[in-house]
Amino acid sequence: MIYTENELEINRLVSKIALEEELSEVESKRLEELCTDREWTGYVIAKMREDGTIDITTMHYLGHGESDFGSYPLKPDDSLYQRIRERHNLQKPGDESRINQRYENGEWVDVDD
């Protein structure tokens, strides 16, 4: 599984916010707890589509319960494409990879967790 159960819950709650839906008090407290437990950690997920495009999803949990989420496609002619493909060992359409990260000394570094 690429996502943990807690990450799926975070994604659900963050999606509500993105859709401008108001979180209940219980949901807000839960989101804060989930993000605080993960402060200064994150992950990058890459998945290759049938057409060779690589979908990148990033999630980083910052201090004070804040988080940063990003998602973007990389086409085969993109300058970062080969580097990302090798880093995530994507060989064929459908391949998917997750790299966990931790914030250390001012930068996000890969970890083996």
pLDDT digits (tens, 9 = 90+) for 1-55: 588 888 888 888 888 887 888 889 999 888 888 877 788 999 999 999 999 999 9
The answer to whether position 112 is within a domain reads: no
In a domain, 110, yes or no: no
The predicted pLDDT at position 1 comes to: 55
Q: Is residue 19 part of a domain?
A: yes
How many domains is the chain built from? 1
Length reported for the chain: 113
* Residue 55 located in a structural domain: yes
Residue 106 lies in a domain: no
31 falls within a domain: yes
In a domain, 113, yes or no: no
- What's the mean pLDDT in 87-97? 96
Could you list the beta-strand ranges (E) of the chain.
Answer: 41-48, 54-61, 67-74, 96-104, 107-111
| 2 φ/ψ angles, rounded to the nearest 5 degrees | -75, -35
| Confidence band of 91 (pLDDT split at 50, 70, 90) | very high
**What is the pTM for the complete model shown?**
0.75
Q: What is the pLDDT of residues 41-81, one digit of tens each?
A: 999 999 999 999 999 999 898 877 677 888 999 999 999 99
What's the rounded Cα separation, in Å, for the pair 9 and 27?
Answer: 10
Residue 109 in any domain: the answer is: no
Range of the domain at 77: 5-101
